[in-house]
Amino acid sequence: MAGAYVHIPFCSHICYYCNFNKVFIEGQPVDDYVDMLIREMHLVMASHPDEKIETVYVGGGTPTTLTPVQLERLISGIRRELHFDHGEFTFEANPNDLLEKDKLRALHENGVNRLSIGVQSFNDAILKAIGRTHRVADVYQAIANARAVGFDNISIDLIFRLPKQTREDFLASLHKALALDLPHYSTYSLILEKKTIFYNLMRSGRLQLPNQDAEADMYQDAIDLMESTGRHQYEISNFAKPGYQCQHNLLYWRNEHYFGFGAGAFGYVGRDRYHNFGPIKQYLDPLHDHKVPVIEHHLVPLEEQIEEEMFLGLRTREGVSQKRFAKRYHMTINEVYGQLLKDLSDQQLLTVDGDAVRLTNQGQFLGNEVFQQFLLDDPLV
């Protein structure tokens, strides 16, 4: 079982907090990029003819900056080259790309069955302050259009700990988001990434953010409100009605295999973690010569595999399965981490419940500090 991530690096604007591989779409060779992306899929899958792709996630950048004709060509190429005829098929979208129904129809009529829409806030002043070009009214129109076309599996993203954001403001955004009665929501704390406008403002002392207490309150509000409306937390940042968990992201968190296609994409197949060229020209050039555009391969050692099994699995509410761990690594979690599990349990940061090793609620708030303790200092024999 494997998934496929497809990267579209084009944006009509650049948000102040985003460090993903992206470029302004104007003047870019978009048609050539779509053609070469499909060629990459053909070249890669020729080396993995028996691999079954079960989920596809098209992210960016902004995939919905493509025209309806480009979207149809991309989707038909994905289905053909990945032999992907059913399963969860997600496209990321911006609200202001969905104000007309033409792109939504191109997606839905070609088999895309899940949308992930970047909303971030229901406050127009905050949207402007973080560099978003859509406004709250666009969100309502986009979701109404998506439903009219036939989409029911819709997720939206919200960010907290934003400049000028108060706990009350984020709570208002949560209420407005939930009033839309969607099956899935993702909510993230703002991370200041290098090479972003916000990072540079922070370095110069010109970025005022909510403090840690306010951040923790916002996160707890999200957990409580989502649960009270039947959206159960299944991962640190993700909430869903039963049956609507994002299967593609669960594949990542379960440390399964995935292919990465597109400029700057990462893949992880077998023990091989590979990374494509990021700049558009460097990505396209080898493909014009019918060569894969990989800049780096990393053969993941056993210790790193095990560390990632714990980091990723502990992000989920289902936790790390002891049986799956033992089957994969031919040793038990206790043999590797026995004393650490006891210490974290004593600190009420982690619990061992039957087959599952999970973070406690308190552990979720200190997730990164807990994860660091699973780094292995010595090689495993």
- Structure tokens that stand for 329 in this block: 């690594």
Determine the pLDDT at residue 266. Answer: 97
In whole angstroms, what is the distance from residue 283 CA to residue 8 CA? 12
Of 278, 259, 343, 311, give the one whose Cα is nearest residue 5.
Answer: 259
Torsion angle in degrees (nearest 10) through CA of 228, 158, 8, 61: -170
Q: How many residues does the chain have?
A: 381
In whole angstroms, what is the distance from residue 350 CA to residue 91 CA? 34
Q: Which residues pair with 92 in a beta bridge?
A: 116
Burial of 98 (0-12, 13-18, 19+ CB in 10 A): buried
- Structure tokens that stand for 117 in this block: 């829409």
- Structure tokens that stand for 177 in this block: 């988001």
Determine the pLDDT at residue 122. Answer: 98
What angle, rounded to 10 degrees, do the helices at 68-81 and 102-109 form? 10
How crowded is residue 213: how many other Cβ atoms within 10 Å of its Cβ?
9
pLDDT in tens, 331-355: 999 999 999 999 999 999 999 999 9
Q: What's the alpha-carbon Rg for the chain, to the nearest Å?
A: 21
Are 174 and 165 in contact by the 8 Å Cβ rule? The answer is: no
Determine the pLDDT at residue 298. Answer: 97
pLDDT in tens, 291-323: 999 999 999 999 999 999 999 999 999 999 999
Are 23 and 76 in contact by the 8 Å Cβ rule? The answer is: no
- Structure tokens that stand for 46 in this block: 């020729």
10-11/272-276 β-pairing: unpaired
Q: Which residue has the tokens 């289902």?
A: 318
- Structure tokens that stand for 150 in this block: 């036939």
In whole angstroms, what is the distance from residue 268 CA to residue 57 CA? 15
- Structure tokens that stand for 97 in this block: 């790309």
Are 150 and 108 in contact by the 8 Å Cβ rule? The answer is: yes
Helices (H), 63-101: 68-81
pTM of the model: 0.95
Burial of 140 (0-12, 13-18, 19+ CB in 10 A): middle
In whole angstroms, what is the distance from residue 228 CA to residue 178 CA? 11
Domains in the chain, CATH or no CATH each:
2-252 (3.20.20.70), 302-372 (1.10.10.920)
Burial of 240 (0-12, 13-18, 19+ CB in 10 A): buried
Q: Which residue stretches of the chain have pLDDT < 70?
A: 14-21, 192-199, 201-202, 381
In whole angstroms, what is the distance from residue 325 CA to residue 337 CA? 12
Segment 332-339 long-range contacts (CB within 8 Å, at least 24 positions apart): 333/357, 336/306, 336/376, 336/380, 337/310, 337/374
